[in-house]
Amino acid sequence: MKKRIRNWFTLTVKKRLIAALLLFLIVPSITVGWLSYQKAADQVKMEIIRSAQAKTEMLSLQINQMLDMEKDNAAQMAAGITSNDIINKSPALQRQMDRMSQNHKELGVLTAGAEDGSWMKSPESEEQNYDPRERSWYTMGMSQDEPVISDTFQSASTGEWVVTAAVKLADGKGYSEPMSVSII
């Protein structure tokens, strides 16, 4: 038994050739495999990052385009409204707001407010204690000559997270907020 163990550890030409084969073929193969794996993993990671950046940029572009369109809608709607229309609760204005609300499913609640606190909404809601002049987007819209987009906030009417486009009325005595887009 001792002789067998001793023979096993004795370096013969055959054993030396096997050891050299292992050293010169297997070790480099393992090294090349490991380095290839590392390089491929880095490339996959970079491709995932590039793809995520491209999708984020595309989404940002689409959101900006949508907000620009809604600013244009706000300006167009406000151009035909006066504060007297809101104060007198004009049926023609209510029909116009209802039509816009029906044609633009992405909109939540359309609101128009006058300097005296009068307001109209579409879709019409129950009478509520509401003063548009107390809303941050009202003051923001009144302080600018061009349509503006608000920061994201939680709607008091619906509880959803929204952004709004606000613009002064044609007579400068109120605002139109024809956009309240839900953020999901």
Identify which has the larger pLDDT, 179 or 3: 3
Average pLDDT over residues 48-56: 97
> Which of 44-48, 74-78, 86-90, 133-137 shows the lowest per-residue confidence on average (mean pLDDT)?
133-137
State how far the Cα of 51 lies from the Cα of 45, in Å rounded to an integer: 10
Which helix H or strand E contains 6, and what residues bound it?
A: helix 2-9
Q: List 166's β-bridge partners, or say none.
A: 148
Tens digit of pLDDT for each residue in 162-182? 888 888 887 776 655 544 444
171, two tokens: 């007579």
Tens digit of pLDDT for each residue in 18-49? 888 888 888 889 999 999 999 999 999 999 99
pTM, entire model: 0.64
Tens digit of pLDDT for each residue in 108-158? 778 888 888 888 888 776 666 777 777 777 777 777 778 888 888 887 767
